[in-house]
Amino acid sequence: MANNRRSGAVGVRADFLSLLSDVKERIQTVQTRAMLAVNSELVRLYWDIGRIIDNRQRSEGWGAGVIPRLSKALKNELPELKGFSERNIKLMLAFHREYPDPNAIVQPAVAQLPGGLFWAVPWAHHVIIIQKVKDLSSRRRGGMKPAELRILLQAGESRTLEFKESLPASLARDLVAMANAKGGQILLGVRDDGSVVGVRDANALRARVQDIARNCDPPVAVKVEPVGAVLVVQVRESDAKPVQCSEGLLLAAGGGDAEAHARGDPRLLPRRGRDTLRHLALRALPVPSRFRPR
């Protein structure tokens, strides 16, 4: 009897530890996403304050003396407010002047992240880049950095970001759907939960991805690069929509119907279920002859 009670207690403890682990993991995931969201809003705020000051200086002819005056006034009006020292406000102004159009500096992978990876980069990192990398073109060069990949993994899947453990049979459909929408990224070697399993023979896998992209009609523009153990496939929005593959025309689900109509793009379907890619093969549409079965 006592043995039964002990074994039952062990089973309860194991079940409880499993429950605790699941709940803790969920809390930590949400905490990470909340932290990224807060950081993104803060960086947007700093850029926007720089924009406001720059516009006023241009239109009103104000000099640099307005910045210490503004910093002092903010401390008086909002004494609990932090981060608005004279030095930091000068950095906000420099931040906007360095990046008057943030989309012009970020890579496609950065721009496609919900909220924008440019904004998700911590403020202190932006300051270091501004101060130490004077040549703007140097900031454009190079591929995705490991820190940027980590942010993508933490952000989770979305309409423009897909995780795949290995090369999926549906890759052509994924590429076409993204190209017909706003582009996106596919991370190969990543589980659905964002954990990295890695890929084998990245060079051979890259060649296969590029071959699949070329066989779409018109070809899908992709950039394929290894970042650590992950193979990152960056898919550009097509300039020649609609793009098709052997299964027909495929569209990515998600909001944007009004914008799609205004631009003459294929209609974007209402979102259903998870905020990830959904596909619809419109088999009534013509398929290029080279894709037709013989």
Express each pLDDT in 83-95 by its tens digit. 899 999 999 999 9
Residues 28 and 107: their CA atoms lie apart, in Å, by 28
**Residue 263 token pair:** 């631009």
* Torsion angle in degrees (nearest 10) through CA of 53, 54, 60, 64: 80
**Which domains are seen in the chain, by residue range?**
12-142 (no CATH), 157-291 (3.30.950)
Mind listing the pLDDT tens digit for each residue in 135-181?
A: 555 555 556 778 778 878 877 887 788 999 999 999 999 999 999 98
In contact, 233 and 185? CB cutoff 8 Å: yes
Q: Could you tell me the two tokens for 160?
A: 């423009």
290: confidence class by pLDDT, cuts 50, 70, 90: very low
Out of 57-61, 120-124, 177-181, the most confident range is 177-181
Q: What confidence tens digit (pLDDT) does each residue in 23-54 have? A: 888 887 777 777 777 888 898 899 999 999 99
Question: Which residue bears the tokens 């379907």?
Answer: 269
Strand order in the sheet with 161-164: 161-164, 184-188, 230-235, 222-227
Query: In whole angstroms, how large is the CA radius of gyration of the chain?
Result: 24
Q: Is the pTM higher than 0.85?
A: no
Unique residue bearing structure tokens 């939960």: 193
Read off the pLDDT of residues 233-282 as tens digits, 9 standing for 90 and up.
Answer: 999 888 888 899 876 555 554 433 333 333 333 333 333 333 333 343 33
Residue 271 in tokens: 């979102």
